[in-house]
Each structure stands twice: as C-alpha cells, then as structure tokens.
Amino acid sequence: MRLAVIGAGAVGRSVVELAGEYGHEVVAVADSSSATVADGSGAGAGVDPDAVVARKAERGIVGDADPEDALAADYDALVEATPTTLGDAEPGFSHVTRALERDRHAVLANKGPVAERFGDLRAAVDDSDGEIRFEATVGGAIPAVSTVEDIEPGHVTAVRGVLNGTANFILTRMAAEGLDYDHVLAEAQDLGVAEADPSFDVDGTDAALKCVILANVLSFGAADDPADAREFTLDDAEVSGIRDVPGSALRLAAEDGRTVRLIGEATGETVRVAPRLVPENGTLAVSGTQNIVQIETTHAGRLNISGRGAGGPETASAVLGDVGRLE
Amino acid sequence: MRLAVIGAGAVGRSVVELAGEYGHEVVAVADSSSATVADGSGAGAGVDPDAVVARKAERGIVGDADPEDALAADYDALVEATPTTLGDAEPGFSHVTRALERDRHAVLANKGPVAERFGDLRAAVDDSDGEIRFEATVGGAIPAVSTVEDIEPGHVTAVRGVLNGTANFILTRMAAEGLDYDHVLAEAQDLGVAEADPSFDVDGTDAALKCVILANVLSFGAADDPADAREFTLDDAEVSGIRDVPGSALRLAAEDGRTVRLIGEATGETVRVAPRLVPENGTLAVSGTQNIVQIETTHAGRLNISGRGAGGPETASAVLGDVGRLE
C-alpha cells in the first residue's frame, strides 16, 4: 500500500523506516511544519526513508513541501502519528476524516480521535469506502484491539491490564528499592523513561485513554445497531494515578506477597484506572516498562498478553500490522 | 456462514453449540459412523444444535444419515474436528481437500493435516477458491497462529512455549508436592487431566505437532516462493518428554529458584521439544493446564500470550474466530 505518514516523532519515523520491509511504500511524510511528497507515481516511486529521517534529525524538518501537500497526496492509507490531544482531538481528527472523505483508509497511533470522538469517527467511516484501524493506540506491540475483534466484542466481558510503562517502571522501582515516589520519578526522568512533566503518565490519563478506546471497541462491537452503543470519552473514566502511593504501602504489600500496579479496566459499561494490590509473582505484576492486557471471555476463559507497551519500532510494527489487515 | 462440522468429540460438539452465538449456522454434523444434515436451505434452516448434542449423548450417534452425506452437504466452511492422526493424516486430510476441491473453506482443529502434510495442503489451497485456517490446532484459546500472521512470519524469529496442559499439570504437581512422576500421573488420570495412555502428551508428541505447525507457518509465510519453503513434519522434530524427569530434579531446581517445564520451540529451520529449566516465577512457568506462547519478533521484542490451551468451548472459540476471519 501507498502510505502518507503524518507525524514525524519516534513512531512516525519508525513507520517510514520499516514500511518497505512490510511491502509498503511511503509516498508522503509530514511533521507539524513541513512535508515531503514523492515525485512520481507507481511502484518504486516512494520517498527515500533514510533521507527523510536524516533531514528530520539534522534540520528538524522532513522536507521542503507544506504539510497540506502530504495530506493531499495520492496514498491508500494515512498513518496518523501526531501527538495525542484531548477534547476535539485536533488536528488528528481532521487528518483522519479527510482521508475517509477521500475513501482512503486511516491507521491511528494517535489516541485522541478514538478516545475522545469515537462516535464521530464511526459516522465518518460509515460514509466512506475507507476503514480505520488503531491497534497502536493500546499497548504498543501488544495486539489488544485485534485480539478483542477476533474473539468478537460480544464474547468479551472485560479487558484489564497494565497499560502505562512509565507508571509501571516507577512502581516496580519503588517496590524493589524501598524508595519513595519522588526519588524514583527523578531517576526515571534521568533515564528518559518519564517526561519532564510526567502528569499524563503518572496521573493515569494515558492508561485511561487506552481503556476508553477498549470500552468503545467493546460497546460498539457488541451492539447490533451502532445507535444503541454507548460512546466513551475520558470524562466517563474514573481515574486515580500513582502520585499518592507511599513507599510504605509497597513495603506493607510486599510483606503479604503482594505489590501495587496501576490497573486499568474497561467493560462495555465502565472505565476505571487505579493503583491496585496484585500478587507479587502474579500475571499482572509485569516489571519495568512492560505492559500486559488480560481479556476475559465468555467461552475461552482469560487470555493474558504481555510485551513492550511503547517504543518507536514496537508501535510502528502495530501500525504496519494494521496496514496489513486492511489489504 | 453455513458450517459442516466433521467430528463430534468435545470440540465438534462445542462448535455445534456455539456457532449460532457467532452468527453462523450448522447445516451438517458427522461423527465416524453417522450424520445429520439440515433439510432445507437458506437462513434458519440449520440443524437443531441441542438435538444433535443430546442424541450424541444418549444414543452415541449424531443422526440417521451417513457421514458421507455431511461431507456432500451445501456448506461454506467445513470444520475438521476429528481426532489427530499421524502419517497420512487420514481421514482428516481428505475431508479438508474435498472441501477445497469444491472451492469451500476448511477450518481445522485436527493437527494431523497441518503437521504431517502441510505442503500437500498448501498445493490444494493454491488450486482452490477456498482457504484453510487452523488456529485451534495450537494452544487452544491462545491466538498463536493469527498473531504470527499479523506480525508477519518474516518478522518472527522464533516461537516457543508450554503447549501441552497434561505435561504441564504433571510437572506443576511434582514441583508443588515433591512427588514423583508415576504418582502424579496416576492422580492426573483420576482427575481426567491425563488419558489412560498418556504417551501422546507426556512423550512430547502433542507439543511437537504444535511446534511443527508453527514451523510450517514461519517457513511458508516467510518464503517469497512456496517452492523455496521448507516443509516440516513430526520426523523433523527433536523430541524428549517428561517421563524421565525425576522428582529430585525438580527439588534441585527449586533450591535455585527454578522449575522444569516442557518447552517447545519452532523457528523456520528447527523444531525442538524438551524439559527445560525456567525461572520459578518467570513468564514461562505457567501453572497447571495453562499454556503459554512466546513470540520473538524482529522489531517489537517478545510477546507473551497465555491462556487455556485445551477444552471444548475454548478450542471451539478458536475455530469460530477462524470462521470469522474467513468472512
């Protein structure tokens, strides 16, 4: 497929670098201020991935064209990899709907549109010959969305798990070293695991967005008529983060063979994210930046899937898996 | 889809019972000596699932027709759920190829044809408008095959895991209770976890067949030309079972924080099944009849998927997931 990659952060750049290995061709790339669009058309006429990535690293732009040119390029699927925004989820939402209006597909790594405007997005898909996919929005390399789709949402009663690597790294270190939150946060920031402003991760917002997306998949997937499906947004999630988990709580838990994890849970009716006690050697107690998703099914018991929940190539491989499913 | 279910053991019966919930209709069911075929055609004209299951339980047959009638019925997909046989993999192999010759799909729960005659099967698929799927042959409810397909076999370097619940139950109990193999085997037989003749499970044959199937998926999936793909059969697998694992080995392992699991591993070049030392609280040390599959990828690290590796409804849900993917 011919791909237009919108967003040139770690995920966008990895998609550009890996697309060829998966048999696809990148015909346009944009960041927020620049773009590059392939000259010709037909096989072999894509952009030069190495040149795009090098230019971004050296000059901070991907090319000399306007971002608008990349959106107007002749692609089969648009890859939306701009940063997640809340509320109206712009500009990601418009990028996706413009692709759908042209009957093209869209693959999202950006959580905003699927978490905050799922109903609007479904309506746009209904009016289009294009489809949307968004495996990369939940759990990085973990195939959470597609596994729920394969089981069929009507046969899934709940999805829960550890969906934020930064919060999990901090809790893991607090338990292992007997240190307090502030100390471990500073360490995580030094290592680049936590951002300078860690709120999005440690307050549970990121995990909650992922659970909201899963709740939308469950709710719309199980409804016979989309008009009957309940739409979830971040406002529907009950969220508490890990800032207030004291080191003493982890020490107390350890004495009882338990530890604390930031657990998110989605059903077709509720979304909840909160620190929870879990068995120290249990399935949910993944370490460091690992993520885990548990899928509760009506006929096949519980399925556990763990792996790398973030990272450029990891998330790009989820994007390219989605592109493969669109063919 | 209209399904013909061939085989009325635990898996076949569960497919008959659950198909309606997944939006499919069973139009024919056969066991080794009898069959029932729906009278009419069109929607709502399927067999009565409850009646078929009740008749099998009460009279040991599924109906008054000949098995041949079920194979000749007007179905969209044939579900092959007869017992796994080695060598020529008959009669399952012929059931599947007869479906393909009629340009119908086939979904296998029977490991024989995909483990012992994968090349012949691929050739039959190439000559047909029908497709084959076989998620249920590996790891019960665990989506091993479809996850490898989604990642794409060329980006998977190895698949390993615990793929036999009976052997895993025995090793788990030996470690927990400090008992020897013979003692725990007798207990497992009493509980119905092990068969009267447990060879297929405890000698590693069953796990090896699953790894052979995964090796075929990796080898054929990564080859540009199927003629270049290496075909695997059970003869290509290096297999040792758990009969000779002494209780003392488990006690020694436990002193070092380890335990023993029957680990199978497949790459595009090798298949190996053997008891291996693994960390006691590590990902591979699943308990009891649980299975786990680890997928090593080129760009997304390691993915772990665990869940119920056997059981009628669990395996039937894998079959019906495959049917959904064929639509």
The one-letter amino acid code at B203 reads D
Is the minimum CB–CB distance between B281 and chain A shorter than 8 Å?
yes
CB contact under 8 A, A300 and B141: yes
- pLDDT at position A42 is 57
Compute CA A275 distance to the chain's CA centroid, rounded to the nearest angstrom.
Answer: 21
Q: Any idea which fold B2-140+314-326 has?
A: Rossmann fold (3.40.50)
pLDDT digits (tens, 9 = 90+) for B194-232: 999 999 999 999 999 999 999 999 999 999 888 899 999
d(CA B224, CA A129): 31
Q: Which two tokens stand for residue A260?
A: 């604390």
Cα–Cα dist B163/B262, whole Å: 8
Is residue A41 scored above 70 in pLDDT?
no
B56: annotated active-site residue: no
Decide if pLDDT at A57 tops 60. Answer: yes
CB contact under 8 A, B150 and A321: yes
A56 in a labelled binding site: no
If you write DSSP's letter for every residue of B45-73 in order, what string do you get?
Answer: -S--HHHHHHHHHHHS-S-SB-HHHHHTS
Q: Is the peptide bond before A91 cis (omega within 30 degrees of 0)?
A: yes
Judge whether A302 is closer than 8 Å to chain B, CB to CB.
Answer: yes
Q: Does A141 contact B297 at a Cβ distance shorter than 8 Å? A: yes
- On the question of pLDDT at A44 being above 90, the answer is no
Chain B contact present for A162, CB below 8 A = no
Which residues of B are documented as binding site? 7-12, 111, 195
Chain B residue closest to A143 (CA)?
B147
The residue with tokens 């019925």 is: B73
Q: Chain A neighbours among B 3-22 (CB < 8 Å)?
A: 14, 18, 21-22
Considering only CB atoms, A306 lies closest to which of B297, B304, B318, namely B304
Q: How far is CA A95 from the centre of its chain?
A: 17
A10 annotated binding-site participant: yes
Prediction ipTM score: 0.94
Edge-to-edge order in the sheet of strand A156-162: A237-239, A271-279, A258-266, A156-162, A290-297, A302-308, B302-308, B290-297, B156-162, B258-266, B271-279, B237-239
pLDDT tens-digit map of A59-94: 999 999 999 999 999 999 999 999 999 999 999 999
Query: How many angstroms separate the CA of residue A235 from the nearest CA in chain B?
Result: 32
Residues of chain B with CATH 3.40.50.720: 2-140+314-326
Tell me how far apart the alpha carbons of residues B43 and B22 are, in angstroms, rounded to a whole number. Answer: 14
Task: Tell me the HSE value of B230 on the side-chain side, using a 13 A CA sphere.
Answer: 14
Amino acid B39: pLDDT: 83
Answer yes or no: do A300 and B307 touch at CB < 8 A.
yes
> What per-residue confidence (pLDDT) applies to A322?
96
Would you say residue A32 has pLDDT above 70? yes
No. of H helices and E strands in chain B?
13, 12
Contact with chain B for residue A254, Cβ under 8 A:
no
List, as residue ranges, the binding site of B for L-homoserine: 195
pLDDT of residue B42: 57
Which residues of B carry a binding-site annotation for NADPH?
A: 111
Position A58: which residue type?
Answer: E
Give A34's DSSP letter: -
Q: Is A246 on the interface with B (CB under 8 A)?
A: no
Residues spanned by CATH 3.30.360.10 within chain A? Answer: 145-309
Closest approach of A260 to chain B, Cα-based (Å): 17
State the pLDDT at residue B41. Answer: 59
Contact B307 A308 (CB under 8 A): no
pLDDT confidence band for A287 (50 / 70 / 90): very high
Cβ partners under 8 Å of residue A159, min gap 6: A144, A148, A211, A214, A218, A265, A266, A267, A293, A294, A295, A296
Which residue of B1, B278, B299, B317 is the best one to mutate when testing the A interface, meaning the one whose CB has the most A CBs within 10 A?
B299
Q: Which of B21, B301, B303 lies nearest to residue A305, judging by beta carbons?
A: B303
Crossing angle for the helix pair A205-222 and A118-126, nearest 10 degrees?
Answer: 40
Q: What is the mean pLDDT of residues A220-229?
A: 90
Q: Cα–Cα distance between B150 and B146 in angstroms, integer?
A: 6
**At the fourth CATH level, which superfamily is domain B145-309?**
Dihydrodipicolinate Reductase; domain 2 (3.30.360.10)
**Which tokens go with A226?**
């989309």
pLDDT(A43) > 70: no
Q: Within an 8 Å CB–CB cutoff, is residue A323 touching chain B? A: no
Per-residue model confidence (pLDDT) at position B131: 98
**Over its length of 327 residues, how does chain B's per-residue pLDDT go in tens digits?**
999 999 999 999 999 999 999 999 999 999 999 999 998 655 567 999 999 999 999 999 999 999 999 999 999 999 999 999 999 999 999 999 999 999 999 999 999 999 999 999 999 999 999 999 999 999 999 999 999 999 999 999 999 999 999 999 999 999 999 999 999 999 999 999 999 999 999 999 999 999 999 999 999 999 988 889 999 999 999 999 999 999 999 999 999 999 999 999 999 999 999 999 999 999 999 999 999 999 999 999 999 999 999 999 999 999 999 999 998
Per-position b or e across A23-41, b if 16+ CB within 10 A of its CB: ebbbbbbbbeebbbbbeee
Query: DSSP assignment, residue A42?
Result: S
